[in-house]
């Protein structure tokens, strides 16, 4: 009940006042799987490009984080794997119920804006090899957040 009420409020708020460069494409306020489009910020290496995020909410939301992945062609970024998984602490250990879907998207956009060149994560190949076997979701990875600067 708490999950549904919260999502409905967030959906309305997100539609009404979307953060700059972030658009909620899902119209159904009762959906538990949202598609969000984010636009690379001007004067960054992703300027002019758009990406799609999928946010999936469990019935434990907001006490558990939404599962967030990039769809299709994820941005080439040191914290984004080729399968769309994102290594960002607030999506896992540092999630807080005071955060929102909208604030998560803003954090991801700011993560993109903070790099000066496009690179895949250094362990992309081994991560992808493991993922091809397991097909695990990103929340089933024990992430190691070693780099706070990017």
Partner 1 sequence: MSEGKDEVNRDQEIMAQMDAIKKEVAESAPLMSDVMDTSTLLAEYGDPLFTTKIKSMLDAFPKMRKTRGDGNCFYRAYAYGIAEHFAAHKDKLPGFLETLKQTFDMALAAGYPEFTAEDFYETVQEQFARLKDEPMEALHATFNDDGLSNYIVAYFRLVTAAHMKTHVDDFLPFLEGGETVAAFCARAVDPFGVDCEHLQIIALTQALGVAVNIAYLDRSAGETAAQHVIPDGQEPLVFLLYRPGHYDILYPPPAVAHT
Residue 141 binds to partner 1 (criterion: CB under 8 A): yes
CB 82, CB 124: distance < 8 Å: yes
Helix or strand (DSSP H, E) at 115: none
Note the Cα 142 to chain centre separation in Å.
17
Q: How many CB atoms lie within 10 A of CB 100?
A: 16
Residue 2 binds to partner 1 (criterion: CB under 8 A): yes
Residue 122 binds to partner 1 (criterion: CB under 8 A): no
Residue 25 binds to partner 1 (criterion: CB under 8 A): no
- 105 catalytically annotated: no
Residues 39-68 that bind partner 1 (CB under 8 A): 62-64
- Dihedral angle, C-alpha 40, 42, 46, 50, nearest 10 °: 30
Taking CB under 8 A as the criterion, the residue among 73, 140, 147, 150 binding partner 1 is 140
Residues contacting partner 1: total by CB under 8 A? 30
Taking CB under 8 A as the criterion, the residue among 43, 116, 134, 149 binding partner 1 is 134
Helix, strand, coil shares of the chain as percentages rounded to 5? Answer: 30, 15, 55
Taking CB under 8 A as the criterion, the residue among 27, 48, 117, 133 binding partner 1 is 133
Cα–Cα distance, 116 to 95 (Å, whole number): 26
Residues 74-93 that bind partner 1 (CB under 8 A): 89-90, 93
Q: Which of these is catalytic: 87, 104, 111, 112? A: 87
Residue 1 binds to partner 1 (criterion: CB under 8 A): yes
Residue that has been written with the tokens 């992703």 in this structure: 46
**Parallel/antiparallel/unpaired status of strands 22-24 and 67-70:** unpaired
Residue ranges binding partner 1 (CB under 8 A): 1-2, 6, 9-10, 13, 62-64, 89-90, 93-100, 103, 126, 129-131, 133-134, 136, 140-142
């Amino acid at each position: 009940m708490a999950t549904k009420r919260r999502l409905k409020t967030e959906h309305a708020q997100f539609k009404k006042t979307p953060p700059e460069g972030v658009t909620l494409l899902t119209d159904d306020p009762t959906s538990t799987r949202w598609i969000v489009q984010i636009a690379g910020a001007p004067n960054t290496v992703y300027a002019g490009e758009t990406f799609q995020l999928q946010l999936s909410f469990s019935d434990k939301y907001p006490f558990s984080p939404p599962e967030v992945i990039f769809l299709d062609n994820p941005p080439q970024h040191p914290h984004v794997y080729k399968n769309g998984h994102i290594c960002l602490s607030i999506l896992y250990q540092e999630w807080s119920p005071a955060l929102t879907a909208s604030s998560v998207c803003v954090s991801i956009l700011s993560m993109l804006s903070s790099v000066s060149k496009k690179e895949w994560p250094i362990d992309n190949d081994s991560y992808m090899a493991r993922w091809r076997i397991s097909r695990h979701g990103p929340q089933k990875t024990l992430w190691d957040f070693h780099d706070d600067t990017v």
